[in-house]
Amino acid sequence: MSTSSSTGVDLVPLGERMRMISAFRAAAVALILGGWQLLPSARGDLPFSTIALVSLGYLAATLLIEAAWRASGRRATWIFGVFAMADGVFLTWASFGQGGLASPLVYLLIGQIVTVSLLASFRTGLKLAIFNAWVLIAAAYLTEAGLVDALGGPPVTFGDDAYWALLVVAGAYVLVALVTTSFAAVNERELRRRRYDLEALARFALELEAVEEPGPIAERLLAGVADIYDCEPSMVLRREGEGLRVLAARGLDDVPANAVLVGDAAAAPVVTKAMADYGTTLVATSARTGDAALAPFGDGANLLITPMRDEHGEVVGALVARHSTRRGSRVERRVVTMVERFVSHASLAIANAYLLVAVRDLAVTDGLTGLPNRRHLDDLLTRSCAQIARGQGTLAIVMVDVDHFKKFNDTHGHQAGDDVLRVVGRTLSDQVRAGDTATRYGGEEFCVVMPGASREDAMQVAERLRVAITEMPIAFDVTASFGVAIGPVHGTEPEVLREAADAALYDAKHGGRNRVAVAPEPGARLREVA
């Protein structure tokens, strides 16, 4: 008799179930002995000494077998089924065998069926009910055939009232098992669903620990609610000023990630109101008219809008998803609750990701000019030089120095000097080619990194930057000198290239400033000045 649950997952450990059934068996023996003393009408022909000897002996034997099983360390789930059948035979003898159908001890068999149905599995409880019924019917036939003596109660003969009453009792066993298992199935199914939800949430939390960017975190959120709760298509919206940006989208081909979906919250009244509410809002089709943020979902029913809040409780966005529930039916509260939990975890992870991005940006960004700083430049040159060292393309670096900057600071003050550096940095960033990077090297010096640039490309860009600096819209006349070095011509190591560019910059400054100089090729005697 199998004791495994229908899903193969034991909600109660086998050892715990054995202890519970042993407790029931001990209570049953106590009721049998107490019933013989208190209910004379329920006694059979056997004396109390025999009843006590058999009952206590059976109890002792089962306890010894259970102790041996525990000492063996084996799981052996079949032992639970064997005990259940043995208990059925014993209780049949102690109840019907002693007092017949009139004995109140017959309820012990019903209690056993309920206990086993709850402790083992629904199938095991039903099997036990059928087994007990057959034991009872078989005992009646054996008694009628004269093979077994009736110990108590009227004799049972095929076709008489006692016989039909016996069949009713046997049917009651099966009915009790069916009712018990049916109600227990509802509870167990709910327990399994809750366990599944918690396990899914735990897996999702672990997945978030491996992701550090806001976009991928939002994608994990959409994948989780789609795979587990069938919420697709969906998207994560991020509030930016008065607009809403798509952080991630799933199942919406016309909605690119990182795109501004609506530029003004007034164009998305339904989403905006839902974001202001504390919990999830279920939106009907008729309520979406005029909301640009919901237009990508078409006419599909059962939209869920769940606000996303940061660690301070401020609304920073929302998950918008369509559940697959058929039109006209409601989304389960369980699904809504779990989606809210998923969103809560993702919201905190996204907030932390943005904080991490901000910290990283501060670590590699110059606070005055907003350009990448020396640390970022060193990392960029290391990666770029590694590529040209492997023969993959060329690299140009341009060192830039603002002319007479110390004198400018002494004359106009450091605040004016800072303003000049900001404008120079912005000019360099605006005028470089796509793919090039303008950085602040330190003080009044800047460095432009140009992957894939040739000597001619670098000279043209440097000359454009020189002219742009002279034409900056500020109240002071500002110029700059430029030194250019090319890899691998002048080297493939960051320090070697920088030294070559510094040497060219030295030539430009000593050649009159406000000009571009290119480092000579190895072996050349003169530096070329443009």
The set of catalytic residues is 444
Give the contacts of 323 (CB within 8 A, at least 6 positions apart): 229, 230, 231, 302, 303, 304, 331, 335
Radius of gyration of the chain (CA): 42
DSSP codes joined into one string, 174-195: HHHHHHHHHHHHHHHHHHHHHH
Closest CA to 42 of 50, 32, 52: 32
Estimate to the nearest angstrom the gap between the alpha carbon of 258 and the chain centroid: 22
> What is the torsion angle, in degrees rounded to the nearest 10, for the CA atoms of residue 271, residue 272, residue 277 and residue 282?
-10
47 vs 31: CA distance, rounded Å? 16
191 vs 91: CA distance, rounded Å? 32
3-state secondary structure (DSSP) of residue 516 = strand
Estimate to the nearest angstrom the gap between the alpha carbon of 514 and the chain centroid: 58
Closest CA to 322 of 299, 302, 296, 295: 302
116 and 21 Cβ atoms separated by less than 8 Å = yes
358 and 214 Cβ atoms separated by less than 8 Å = no
Give the contacts of 96 (CB within 8 A, at least 6 positions apart): 103, 106, 136, 139, 153
30 vs 50: CA distance, rounded Å? 15
Number of Cβ atoms within 10 Å of the Cβ of 161: 11
Give the contacts of 465 (CB within 8 A, at least 6 positions apart): 398, 400, 427, 428, 431, 432, 448, 480, 482
3-state secondary structure (DSSP) of residue 273 = helix
